[in-house]
Amino acid sequence: MSDPVSALGGASYAGFATIREIGPLGMITLRAKGVKSLDKAIKAAVGTKVPAVRRIEIAGDKACGWMSPDEYLLILPYGGVADALAAIAAALKAEHHLAVDVSDARAVFRVEGAKASDVLRKLMPVDFDRLEPGELRRTRAAQVPAAFWQADGGFTLVSFRSVAGYVMGLLQHSAQPGSEL
Amino acid sequence: MLILTCPYCGIKADETELSPGYEAHLKRFGPDASPEEFEAYMFARKNPKGVHFERWRHAYGCGKWFLAARCTATLEVFGTYPAQVGEPPADIIDKIKARRPDWKGYK
Amino acid sequence: MSTRLAKGGRLIDRTAAMDFHFNGKVMRGFAGDTLAAALLANDQMLMGRSFKYHRPRGVVGSGPEEPNALVNLGRGARLEPNQRATTTELFDGLEATSQNHWPSLEFDVGVVNNYAARFMPAGFYYKTFIHPRPFWKHVFEPVIRRAAGLGKAPTEGDADRYEQAYAFCDVLVVGGGVAGLLAAKAAADAGQRVILLEQTATLGGRTPVDEADIDGTPVDTWIAAIESDLRARDNVTIRTRTCGFGVYDHGYVLADERVADHTPGDGRPKHRLWRIRTAKIVTATGAIERPLSFAGNDIPGVMLASAVRDYVVNHAVSPGDRTVIATNNDSAYQTALALKAAGLEVPAILDARDTATGALPEAARAAGIRVLTGRGIAKVKGGKRVTGVAVCTQAGEGAVLEEITCEAVAMSGGWSPVVHLFSHCGGKVKWDDNLSAFIPDASRPPVNHDGSPMVSVVGAAAGCLSLANILAGLRDVSGKTAIRLPDVCQTPDGSVSIPPVWVMPQGAPIQLRSKMWLDYQNDVKVSDVQLASREGYQSVEHTKRYTTLGMATDQGKLSNINGLAVLADSLNEPIPQVGTTTFRPPYTPVTIGALAGESRGEIFQPLRRTPMHEWHEKSGAYFEPVGLWHRPYCFPRAGETHEQAVHREVLNTREKLGLLDASTLGKIIVKGPDAGRFLDMLYTGVMSTLPIGKCRYGLMCNEQGFLSDDGVVARLDEETFLCHTTSGGADRIHAWMEDWLQCEWWDWKVYTANVTEQYAQIAVVGPNARKLLETLGGMDVSKETLPFMQSADGTLGGFPARVYRISFSGELSYEIAVPASQGAAFWEACHKAGASLGAMPYGTEALHVMRAEKGFIMIGDETDGTVIPQDLNLDWAISKKKADYLGKRGQARTFLASPDRWKLVGFDTLDGSAIPDGAYIVADGTNGNGQRNVQGRVTSTYHSPTLKRGIAMGLLKHGPQRMGEVVEFNTIQGETVKARVRDTVFFDKDGEKQNV
């Protein structure tokens, strides 16, 4: 086993906002609906409650986001995925669900700075002024799917790994000095 | 460019976040279908000027398919609803009837 | 001559002089000038040549409606053709050249067209160059194209960058004149989130030029006050230099912000395209003055009265010492007064009306200006510059009553409300007899997603042409500051009346009508539209296309109504009966750069990279696009052609060891108690019986029965399957699965997850494949433990791995999936461990050659959306027992079950050559179009380095029954290639190499 490498090896860019590729980050797709032990499984895996529609529950370096009526995104340190999967399996036992490691299928970016939202406003058909606290928004960044939420004075943005270079290019283009909205 | 509200996640989605999926409420006809039934299922799609029911997928969002009732002439949207129904819900029908008294019904 | 006045100019800063170049000549202007104003200030009235007749042309307008003053702006990588001088803000160092002339603006050879003008009426090109047919493409078109055309297309890549942005609001106001400002304030007062767009650099619209005060406050003061009030509010955003150019469905508006047009090279994006979503749109886009149609109305120095006023008041530019006014309404009298106030002469006002008794005419008379009613212009005198006008009675046929010497003519034929944005999305306009103009029909607005009116119109755009009308309509009766937003449209109060004057004089003979320009830019005259009508054109849409009226870059902002009126008159029908052309976005031309936004260069479209992409790049891979992925086609070595590289890669893999980056293969987890049942519906074969740890090849069809995707399915545990899809098919097949699960079988307990990108997948292929895995160590990959079509989890060389023993090459082969984050390291580890085993990377072309040698089909080669598995002799992969699967009913249709289908066979060319891609197998005789009949086509064709000759697969009518027969493939050269029909497995028929 070698050290896991994120898609862009931690690339960064300083424009009017700062862009950083972070990760690798542990991520689990959990699909389940109407199963009685869902709250236990999520609690056991990442220590949060079940998020409401379009919300993300954050607890330290772990989180659980609502992705669809039967899908959650569990976020945790990279090394903890196997244990979390085991905890989910134990909690849900025979109940119908799917839990799968998607840590390596994703690229994660941080967009930070006073005008960080200006970077994303150029790429996403999203009304940033009407975002709700703790909202996880799935949308597109220009031509590719993306999800983001606000935390720690910036935005965390998730895309697919294969298009990490494209997303970095978009963020860089949009954050160029002098192009604040 | 349309906006349709996803009934699952509540987002007023921009058309570019959606992918279209032709006529809603089609009944699948399988191996035992007569040529006429299969033709109707596969090819004889409605294309009205006026009230129409369509499938849309919130492709860049929650990934769920939903159904929309909309006027193809004015683009007025009467409502969106989850795909797991055999026919349009009563409240949508009522709304369409209120807005389009001449409407003949969805069949 | 036109010149700068010593005093005045509300928009210019005389302390900030700016040097610029026009046709190489250095000129001087001031900050706040437009290029047109600065050119006039330097006596450069001649600004271009017309499109068809190369007539000398000067500026007509002062805004986006300008048809004549188009220039090439900038040079090299910053050259932009067709830029309107009237909307180009002057900056220091600006470089512009005039267009459509040769060798020079002053002396243009193309002007011979002008003298031949009477031989080049409407439809001239259509009529003249239709025969002989082949001449058009090779003779006429190239010559005409060289002679015509406006600006020069730039040859270098654009040095600037562009971007787009999304914005959301409750009320979007387009237009920052008094009406727009009041509407924005009304909406803001009501707590709405407001965006106000103004296409110029300053707010206020026409009012600061046309009026002295608003409620006793000087106009500029009033505007500054409301602007600062709005800017101070959190719920209001004002964007100047931003043109709202298109209104689309459900409150979607596009706007072009000219961020850095006036500060080129300062690092900011040149333009920003705004995509605005709003609940309600208020257009306050004003009105555009119309020209009058009199002979010589295109001679430089003839300008719109409003433009003359703008240049005098805003820029302190005089169009000439003496300006004659020609009008059919009161507004042009303001121009006379403004000229007079600037100390210039107005020899006469020629008013086509019989009487002129309003306040403005009276003021003009009081100022000592000669007002002649019932008079018009018989003819403008001059060539490259106005020298005078001949006066006639409007009611007559043009007999000259007197001649007046002058340097400029200011004309007003009335006003056309800018109804474009109201109309873009279905709003209807109606003819207003009092204004002789189309105004928005408040009863038929475009509607929003909820069926409510989407666009309201205020101010001059609604036909409210007086300030009093605008103010009254936007205010509450109770107080001056209370303003109400109209639900739909403001209503004209009837205070302004504009009689129809479409031709001047009314009875002008053809000699005059053929010199009356309607569309300046496309050189369409009154006589052309009348000719079209005589030739039978009755629809305005057809007439427009025949004469090209309104089809230039200004989209007929000045000419449409005049042209329509002339047509209606010729047809002897009322204007509303003839109708108007459809207004379509964009309102003004938008540069392609803004529309493309960030989608350029590296990020033109998403490029999908595998974890090993960087290694491939460093190793000199030649890439090919597969969907949005870039996959190595081959890895050429120094001095190798691609073909040589492919051959080396094939032979090395067959003889030693090849490594393929197969990460792009789709991988979808399907899990649940009903997963087997679901896959049995999805695939033509049976998947539910697949034992755990085993792999099975499967085919997926659409409901019509046509083959859509294929791949190997592995069963991971009782409830879990991993489905491989084609590289291009992962997202599509995942969506297909979800579609059926969500919309048809929503009670089935199945979840799917697309894990394509979670894994890097490497195919280890060739006689030494097992040795490589053993060298890496960690798993038993022997024939006994891991036989063909089986998978196992474990570690290889310390990497967590899932190993599939599957083969797409006919060789001993393993596909190994490792976490993507370790993909690059594992790939390198394989190369390192394989160095002594002859390991080489191979690309997609070697993969294709090897699969073709083995007769394996490829989705997209053997299939094209009209091929069913049975056509490819894949009946073995179709379950006969299953009651149903997707596509089963479709495949039962008679034409698909016909024995006459083209079916897959192999071909050996008689001469050993490779059949050209796309070749058809010809049959006897010809079809109804005189084309050779065909009986089949090639689907895959390669030169096989293994067999050292061409091999091919293809579909042939009755193919499998025709083994040994010789058929002929056509080629582009018209010759044929003979080939013998054979089976599709060219190499290692018994699978001895694979099953070791």
C-alpha to C-alpha distance for C72 and C154, rounded to whole angstroms: 9
Q: Distance between alpha carbon C18 and the CA centroid of its chain, in Å?
A: 36
Query: Per the CB < 8 Å rule, is C758 touching A29?
Result: no
Neighbours of chain C (3+ CB pairs under 8 A): A, B
Q: Does A68 reach chain B within 8 Å, measured CB to CB?
A: yes
pLDDT score of C149 more than 80:
no
Q: What is the pLDDT of residues C415-430, one digit of tens each?
A: 999 999 999 999 999 9
Confidence of residue C142 (pLDDT cuts 50, 70, 90): low
The 10 Å Cβ neighbour count of residue B5 is 17
- The confidence score (pLDDT) of residue C115 equals 66
Q: Is pLDDT at C58 greater than 70 in this prediction?
A: yes
Predicted confidence (pLDDT) at residue C388 exceeds the cutoff of 80: yes
3-class DSSP state of C964 = coil
The reply to whether residue A125 touches residue B14, judged by beta carbons under 8 angstroms, is yes
Predicted local confidence at residue C479, as pLDDT = 41
C-alpha Rg value of chain A to the nearest Å: 17
CB-based burial label for C506 (10 Å; 0-12, 13-18, 19+): middle
pLDDT recorded at residue B77: 97
d(CA C497, CA C589): 32
What share of chain C in percent tops pLDDT 90? 86
Q: How many CA atoms lie within 13 A of C761 on its CB side?
A: 25
- What does the pLDDT look like over B45-54, one tens digit per residue? 999 999 999 9
Test A163 with C608 for CB contact under 8 angstroms. yes
CB atoms A98 and C608 under 8 Å: no
Least confident of C144-148, C253-257, C827-831, C963-967: C144-148
Buried b (16+ CB within 10 A) or exposed e, A1-26: ebebbbbbeebebebbbbbbbebbbb
**Better-scored residue on pLDDT, C114 or C41:** C41
* Cβ contacts of B11 on chain A, cutoff 8 Å: 54, 137
CA distance C295 to C511: 8
Mapping DSSP to helix (H, G, I), strand (E, B) and coil, where does residue A38 land? helix
Across residues C847-866, what is the average pLDDT? 96
pLDDT of res. C147: 57
CA separation (Å) from C404 to C326, C348, C379, C381, C566? 12, 8, 11, 10, 28
Q: Rounded distance, CA C610 to CA C606, Å?
A: 13
Task: Return the beta strands (E) in C554-656 as ranges.
Answer: 622-626, 629-634
Which pLDDT does position C146 carry in this prediction?
Answer: 57
Question: Does position C939 have pLDDT exceeding 90, yes or no?
Answer: yes
pLDDT in tens, C341-367: 999 999 999 999 999 999 999 999 999
Q: What percent of chain A has pLDDT over 90?
A: 96
Task: Give the SS3 label for residue C710.
Answer: strand
Q: Which helix (H) or strand (E) holds C804?
A: strand C799-805
- What are A118-132's pLDDT values in tens digits? 999 999 999 999 999
* Cβ neighbours, 10 Å, residue A86: 13
Q: C591: which residues sit within 8 A by CB, 6+ positions away?
A: C80, C162, C256, C270, C271
Cis previous bond, C132, omega within 30: yes
Tens digits of residue pLDDT in B84-101: 998 999 999 999 999 999
Q: pLDDT digits over C193-210, tens only?
A: 999 999 999 999 999 999
CB contact under 8 A, B62 and A67: yes
Instruction: Say if residue C140's pLDDT is above 70.
Output: no
For B1-107, list the strands marked E by DSSP: 3-5, 12-14, 19-23, 51-57, 65-71, 77-82
pLDDT at C482 over 50: no
pLDDT at C49: 86
Q: What is the pLDDT of residue C52?
A: 80
Q: Which residues of A touch C727 (CB under 8 A)?
A: none
- C107 pLDDT band (50/70/90 cuts)? confident
Domain ranges of chain C: 1-157, 162-288+446-473, 500-573, 613-664+758-851, 666-757, 899-996
Residue labelled with tokens 């890496």: C776
> Angle, to 10 degrees, between the axis of helix C331-341 and the axis of helix C359-366?
30
- The H or E element containing residue C112 is helix C112-115
User: Coil, strand, or helix at residue C737?
Assistant: helix
* Nearest residue to C819 (alpha-carbon basis) of A79, B37, A40: A79
Which helix (H) or strand (E) is C360 found in, with range? helix C359-366
- Confidence class of residue C129 from pLDDT cuts 50, 70 and 90? low
φ/ψ of residue C110, rounded to 5 = -60, -10
Chain C residues whose CB is inside 8 A of the B21 CB are: 739
| pLDDT value for C141 | 67
Fold of C1-157: Ubiquitin-like (UB roll) (3.10.20)
Which chains does B contact via 3+ CB–CB distances below 8 A? A, C
Residue C477 pLDDT exceeds 60 = no
CB-CB: which of A54, A125, A145 is closest to B10? A54
Residue C729, CB-side half-sphere exposure with 13 Å CA sphere: 21
- The pLDDT value recorded for residue B106 is 77
Which residues from B are below 8 Å from A139, CB to CB? 17, 60-61
Q: Cβ distance C465 to C415 under 8 Å? A: yes
For residue C449, the chain B residues in CB contact (below 8 A) are 2-3, 75-77
Q: C490-508: per-residue pLDDT in tens? A: 899 999 999 999 999 999 9
- Please tell us whether the domain made up of C162-288+446-473 is placed in CATH 3.50.50.60: yes
Whether C109 has a pLDDT exceeding 80, the answer reads no
Neighbouring residues of C969: CB distance < 8 A, sequence distance ≥ 6: C907, C915, C916, C919, C920, C921, C922, C938, C976, C977, C978, C979
CATH architecture of B3-27+36-99: 2-Layer Sandwich (3.30)
Decide if pLDDT at C484 tops 70: no
Interface contact C739-B31, CB threshold 8 A: no
Domain C899-996 in CATH 3.40.50.1220: no
Helical (H) or strand (E) element with C671: strand C666-671
DSSP letter string, C857-901: --TTTT-SSS--GGGGT-GGGS-SS-S--TTHHHHTSHHHH-TTS
Contact C871, C902 (CB under 8 A): yes
Res. C478: pLDDT tops 60: no
Q: How far apart are the first and last CA of chain B?
A: 27
How many Å apart are CA C835 and CA C455, to the nearest integer? Answer: 70
Other residues' Cβ atoms within 10 Å of the Cβ of residue C85: 27
> Which residues, numbered 70 to 99 in chain A, qualify as contacts with chain C under a Cβ-Cβ cut-off of 8 Å?
70, 96-98
pLDDT at residue number C148: 56
Mean pLDDT of the residues in chain C: 93
Sorted by where each begins, the domain ranges of chain B are: 3-27+36-99
**Cβ separation of C819 and A162 shorter than 8 Å?**
no
Cα dist from C401 to B84, C323, C370, C376, C377, whole Å: 83, 18, 15, 10, 10
Rg value, chain B, Cα: 14
pLDDT for residue B25 is more than 60: yes
Q: Is A13 on the interface with C (CB under 8 A)?
A: no
Whole-angstrom distance, CA of residue C290 vs CA of residue C266: 38
- A138 interfaces chain C, CB cutoff of 8 Å: no
pLDDT of residue C539: 87
Q: What is the mean pLDDT of residues C582-610?
A: 95
> C666-757: what fold?
Alpha-Beta Plaits (3.30.70)
For the four alpha carbons of C208, C211, C215 and C216, in that order, the dihedral sign comes to: positive
Higher pLDDT, C679 or C120: C679
Task: Specify the amino acid at residue A152.
Answer: D
Instruction: Label the pairing between strands B3-5 and A154-160.
Output: unpaired
Q: Is C426 left (phi over 0), alpha (psi -120 to 50) or beta?
A: left
Residues of B with CB under 8 A from a CB of C: 1-3, 14, 19, 21, 28-33, 35, 38, 41-42, 55, 57, 59, 63-65, 74-77, 83-84, 99
Q: Please count the other Cβ atoms lying within 10 Å of the Cβ belonging to residue B98.
A: 10
CATH 1.10.10.1100 fits C500-573, yes or no: yes
For residue C804, pLDDT beyond 60: yes
Q: What superfamily in CATH does domain A12-174 come from?
A: Probable tRNA modification gtpase trme; domain 1 (3.30.1360.120)
Neighboring chain B residues of C744 at a CB cutoff of 8 Å: 28
Contact A17, A112 (CB under 8 A): yes
pTM for this prediction: 0.94
pLDDT at B57: 97
State the DSSP H helix or E strand holding residue C95, giving kind and residue range, or none if neither. strand C95-98
Give the mean pLDDT of C690-714.
Answer: 97
Residue C690 has pLDDT above 50, yes or no: yes
Chain A nearest-CA residue for B6: A68
The answer for residues whose C-beta is within 8 angstroms of residue A63's C-beta and 6 or more apart is A46, A48, A56, A57, A74, A75, A76
Residues 63 through 92 of chain B touching chain A, CB cutoff 8 Å:
63-64
Mean pLDDT of C899-914: 96
Nearest to C606 among A24, A144, A174 (CB): A144
Domain C162-288+446-473 and domain C899-996 have a common topology: no
Distance, in Å, from the CA atom of B104 to the CA atom of B97, rounded to the nearest integer, reads 9
Contact C746 B28 (CB under 8 A): no
Residue of C nearest to A72 (CA): C753
B70, burial (CB in 10 Å: exposed 0-12, middle 13-18, buried 19+): buried
Residue C558 and residue C518: Cα distance in Å, rounded?
Answer: 8
- How far apart, in Å, are the Cα atoms of A11 and each of A20, A110, A165, A172, C578? 6, 11, 10, 11, 63
pLDDT band at C105 (very low <50, low <70, confident <90, very high): confident
Cα nearest neighbour of B33 on chain C: C889
How much is the average pLDDT of C163-192? 95
Mean pLDDT score, B12-18: 96
CA distance C166 to chain B (A): 11
Percent helix, percent strand, percent coil in chain B, to nearest 5: 20, 30, 50
Residue C102 reports pLDDT greater than 70: no
- How would CATH label the architecture of C613-664+758-851? 2-Layer Sandwich (3.30)
Return the residue in B42, B66, B67, B70 with the most chain C beta carbons within 10 A, the one to mutate for interface testing: B42
What are residue C409's phi and psi, to 5 degrees? -125, 130
| Cis upstream peptide for C500 (omega within 30°) | no
Over residues C280-307, the mean pLDDT reads 97
Interchain contact, A126 vs C671, CB within 8 Å: no
Query: Within 13 A of C120's CA, how many CA atoms are on the CB side?
Result: 17
Q: Tokens 């205020």 appear where?
A: C458
The residue-averaged pLDDT of C668-693 equals 98
Quote the percentage of chain B above a pLDDT of 90: 92
User: Quick one: pLDDT at residue A107?
Assistant: 98
Asked if B74 lies within 8 A of C704 by C-beta distance, the reply is: no
What's the pLDDT tens digit per position in A42-97?
999 999 999 999 999 999 999 999 999 999 999 999 999 999 999 999 999 989 99
